[in-house]
Amino acid sequence: MSDFFIKQAQNLPRPKSYFEGLDWGSEVLPRDILCFSRTSQDHRTDGWEGISAKAGRYDQHSRYVLLVALKGDGRVGIESEVLDLRVGEAILLKPLQIHYYVELPENFCWFYVTFGLEGDLPDFPGGPRLLTKEIDTQFQEFFNSYEKEESLTASAQLGQLVLNVAKLEVRPSKAKLTDEGTLVAWVKEYVMSNLSGDLALETLARIADLSESHLRAIFREETGVSLGHFVKSVRLVRSTYLIDEGVDLPEVAKQSGFKSLTSFTRAFRRMYEMTPSDYRSKKKR
């Protein structure tokens, strides 16, 4: 060892505690980072490379998603809201937030960064944020590290990037609602507030004072998916929260609005490709 290093070591101050030292503390260090883009609108695609407002498919998973519109404006449904997403804006999605596509342009390029995280991000309001030039530069630096497979550097850069995006002001972006849109917003709010109740099309149409066919047509026109599919999907999202909270499966089925544990298990398996019991075991692991 050099004399200079020895001298530095000898001059170190006595620690305030021998059990607490330098740590990354509040640093956000994402793991299992994946970047990809989507440029194809094709609801027939079985994989993830194609997306469509006509697919009737809801995305929901246990990863964070940072979505940036690089080319082409569109509309994205996030749980019970429909938001405009414009070029140069980003949306940050939390784990298990159900999201889907309502309207997509003919030509578009949307960039996705998905990642896992030990712990949680600080609470942040949802909605689109217009990226600044500084954050655009940070994106480029992160992406360069990602392409070079410099994992630790990319993780630190992405963590800071996500925190900076979360601090940006959210643009008020609820899609402009026509009379039909106002009706759809009411339906979504009613469904979200009454998941364990009767949400049959007949019941919703009676409360809205519309014919079943009219309500069904308006909902699909405004959202791109069927009302029945929306109800079932949101109920299943609710069930994942209840399972995570340790609620017994029969009670999960009841609180999520399913008539029986059998029908709940069948619907859960169809959406998540595993049974509720398998999901609980996987979360514990």
Are residues 81 and 174 in contact, defined by beta-carbon separation less than 8 angstroms?
Answer: yes
Query: Is the pLDDT confidence value at 26 over 50?
Result: yes
Its pTM surpasses 0.95: no
Q: Looking at residues 106-120, what average pLDDT do you find?
A: 88
Same domain for 153 and 204: no
Is the residue at 22 inside a domain? Answer: no
Parallel/antiparallel/unpaired status of strands 81-85 and 74-78: antiparallel
pLDDT digits (tens, 9 = 90+) for 86-104: 999 999 988 888 888 877 8
79 lies in some domain:
yes
Within a domain: 23: no
155 shares its domain with 213? no
CATH code, 143? 2.60.120.280
Work out the average pLDDT over 123-138: 87
Torsion, CA 163, CA 168, CA 172, CA 175, rounded to 10: -50
Residues 159 and 252 in one domain: no
Which residue do the tokens 């004399």 mark? 3
Report d(CA 261, CA 269) in Å as an integer. 12
Are 220 and 102 in the same domain?
Answer: no
Q: Are residues 215 and 145 in the same domain?
A: no
Instruction: Tell which wins on pLDDT, 148 or 189.
Output: 148
Q: Does the structure show a pLDDT above 90 at 281?
A: no
Final residue of a structural domain among 167, 188, 206: 167
Q: Which CATH number does the domain housing residue 255 bear? A: 1.10.10.60
pLDDT of 218 reads: 87
Give residue 283's pLDDT.
74
- Structural domain harbouring 45: 31-167
In a domain, 174, yes or no: no
Q: Are residues 157 and 213 in the same domain?
A: no
φ, ψ of residue 76 to 5 degrees: the values are -125, 135
Q: 39 and 106 share a domain? A: yes
User: What are the angstrom distances between the C-alpha of 218 and each of 43, 175, 243?
Assistant: 21, 16, 33
Q: Are residues 128 and 66 in the same domain?
A: yes
Whether 11 maps to a domain, the answer reads no
Q: Are residues 217 and 139 in the same domain?
A: no
pLDDT digits (tens, 9 = 90+) for 221-238: 888 788 998 899 889 988
- Together in a domain, 109 and 153: yes
Domain count of the chain? Answer: 2
| Tokens at 179, concatenated | 């009379």
Q: Final residue of a domain: which of 139, 167, 195?
A: 167
Please tell me the predicted confidence (pLDDT) of residue 53. Answer: 58
| C-beta of residue 257 within 8 angstroms of C-beta of residue 197 | yes
Q: How confident is the model at residue 15 (pLDDT cuts 50, 70, 90)?
A: confident
The tens digit of pLDDT for each residue in 159-215 reads 999 999 988 888 765 544 445 567 887 888 888 888 888 898 988 888 887 888 888
**pLDDT: which is higher, 89 or 17:** 89
56: exposed, middle or buried (Cβ count in 10 Å: 0-12, 13-18, 19+): middle
Write down which residue in 108, 139, 167 finishes a domain. 167
Residue 1 domain-assigned (yes or no): no
Co-location of 243 and 140 in the same domain: no
- Does residue 173 sit within a domain? no
77 inside domain: yes
Residues 184 and 233 in one domain: yes
